[in-house]
């Protein structure tokens, strides 16, 4: 079964390469994008398959030398055979990881929504902390961050902040952040010095292309109003803020961060497409039943995923039972260790699911 899959991958790769050199495909943007994306997924697989084949040939060539009458050649061949066998075993494992079905949202830009939950002003302050953490993390990775909507509080927190992140692997590194983030600390607003527990909800949505979500103009109600100010920094004197209601679903989005009504509308439409796309994917996941179980957690926004404990300088991710004692550094944007553990666990879980599926089919 495994060998058949390898052959089908090589055959498909050749077909995709032919399509990408076909003028008919090059002239249609959607087709070209589709085949380019598939080629990007298949190319590392095929390169790894070819590398394994070359190692296998080298091992076969050494088999004769291992039985040579010349003792020195025999010893050298045995040593090299051992090294190549270990290399092949490592390449086989790497191939298995590459064979994990790709995330359908891989490569997409994202929209992140942070909302203060239980805890009043302290929750709003922590929402501001998380926004700054993600902004610095995006900056460290040279991703572009675009503020879409923000409702700040007087003390520097946010009741709600929505922003987009665009750049290579943005979805891969942010997708596991969705859920409830809990903070335990003495609030700045607390005079008695008691530790409070507050919560913030984070949602991460993949950006959707227009062709992925069908939005009819007649299904939209668009309202304009006077902006109250972008993040409380300035007040517009014109009706530049936009609120869009998708009538069939009741989904409402709004944007007032730009002084231009046209720019606010473009951002609001981007947010609407992302929300409708997420709803579409959730419906598909529910129809597939166990599909979400192969991810880190359920991806549910109501799931408590992480606790930030200030007195103990500890961050704990409850889904993978992983803790680190570098709270200030993480909040300053150094999320690499935490994110890499989540990505690793996700890959291992999805690989186990793919292998189990392969065995069942076999």
Q: Which of 308, 319, 362, 325 minimizes the C-alpha distance to 341?
A: 319
pLDDT beyond 70 at 60: yes
Q: What is the mean pLDDT of residues 261-271?
A: 92
Radius of gyration (C-alpha) of the chain in whole angstroms: 26
Q: What is the mean pLDDT of residues 224-234?
A: 61
Angle between helices 29-65 and 2-20 (to 10 degrees): 130
pLDDT grade, residue 64 (50/70/90)?
Answer: confident
pLDDT, position 110: 95
- How many structural domains is the chain composed of? 2
Check whether residue 75 and residue 155 sit in a common domain.
no
Lowest mean pLDDT among 71-75, 161-165, 301-305, 311-315: 301-305
Check whether residue 227 and residue 158 sit in a common domain.
yes
What value does the mean pLDDT of the chain take? 86
The top-scoring range by mean pLDDT among 117-121, 189-193, 256-260, 322-326 is 322-326
State which of 74, 98, 122 marks the end of a domain: 98
Check whether residue 341 and residue 299 sit in a common domain.
yes
Check whether residue 83 and residue 113 sit in a common domain.
no
**CATH number for the domain harbouring residue 82:** 1.20.58
pLDDT, position 359: 59
Compute the half-sphere exposure of residue 224: CA atoms within 13 Å on the CB side of its CA: 13
Q: Name the one residue in this structure whose structure tokens are 């517009």.
A: 236
**CATH number for the domain harbouring residue 287:** 3.30.70.1660
Q: Name the one residue in this structure whose structure tokens are 């949602």.
A: 203
Check whether residue 26 and residue 89 sit in a common domain.
yes
> In angstroms, rounded to a whole number, what is the distance separating the alpha carbons of residues 7 and 15?
12
155 with 121: CB under 8 angstroms? yes
Check whether residue 90 and residue 163 sit in a common domain.
no
pLDDT beyond 50 at 210: yes
Q: What is the DSSP string of 17-76?
A: HHHHT-HHHHT-HHHHHHHHHHHHHHHHHHHHHHHHHHHHHHHHHHHHHTT-S-HHHHHH
DSSP 297: S
Check whether residue 89 and residue 153 sit in a common domain.
no
Q: What is the mean pLDDT of residues 339-360?
A: 79
pLDDT beyond 60 at 295: no
Lowest mean pLDDT among 48-52, 102-106, 159-163, 291-295: 291-295
Q: Which residue range forms the structural domain that includes residue 298?
A: 106-362
Q: What is the mean pLDDT of residues 327-351?
A: 92
pLDDT beyond 80 at 193: no
pLDDT, position 347: 84
pTM, full prediction: 0.74
Check whether residue 351 and residue 229 sit in a common domain.
yes
Check whether residue 140 and residue 171 sit in a common domain.
yes
């Amino acid at each position: 079964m495994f060998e058949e899959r390898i052959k089908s991958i090589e055959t498909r790769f050749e077909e995709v390469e032919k399509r990408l050199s076909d003028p008919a495909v090059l002239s249609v943007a959607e087709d070209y994008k589709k085949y380019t994306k598939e080629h990007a997924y298949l190319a590392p697989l095929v390169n790894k398959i070819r590398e394994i084949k070359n190692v296998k040939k080298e091992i076969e060539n050494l088999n004769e030398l291992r039985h040579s009458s010349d003792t020195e050649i025999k010893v050298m061949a045995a040593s090299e055979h051992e090294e190549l066998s270990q290399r092949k075993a490592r390449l086989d494992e790497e191939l298995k990881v590459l064979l994990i079905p790709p995330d359908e949202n891989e490569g997409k830009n994202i929209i992140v929504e942070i909302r203060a939950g239980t805890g009043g002003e302290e929750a709003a302050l922590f929402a501001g902390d998380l926004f700054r953490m993600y902004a610095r993390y995006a900056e460290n990775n040279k991703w572009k961050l675009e503020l879409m909507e923000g409702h700040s509080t007087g003390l520097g927190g946010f009741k709600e902040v929505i922003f987009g992140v665009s750049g290579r692997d943005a979805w891969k590194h942010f997708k596991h952040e969705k859920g409830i983030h809990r903070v335990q600390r003495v609030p700045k607003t607390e005079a008695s010095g008691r530790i409070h527990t507050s919560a913030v909800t984070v949602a991460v949505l993949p950006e959707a292309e227009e062709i992925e979500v069908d939005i009819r103009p007649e299904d939209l109600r668009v309202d304009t109003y006077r902006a109250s100010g972008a993040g409380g920094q300035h007040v517009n004197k014109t009706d530049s803020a936009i609120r869009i209601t998708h009538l069939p679903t009741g989904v409402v989005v709004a944007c007032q961060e730009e002084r231009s009504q046209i720019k606010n509308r473009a951002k609001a439409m981007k947010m609407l497409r992302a929300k409708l796309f997420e709803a579409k994917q959730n419906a598909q996941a529910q129809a597939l039943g166990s599909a979400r179980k192969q991810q880190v957690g359920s991806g549910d926004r109501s799931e408590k995923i992480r606790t930030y404990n200030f007195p103990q300088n500890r961050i704990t991710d409850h889904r993978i039972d992983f803790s680190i004692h570098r709270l200030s550094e993480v909040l300053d944007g150094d999320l690499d260790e935490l994110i890499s553990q989540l990505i690793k666990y996700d890959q291992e879980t999805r690989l186990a699911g793919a292998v189990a599926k392969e065995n069942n089919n076999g």
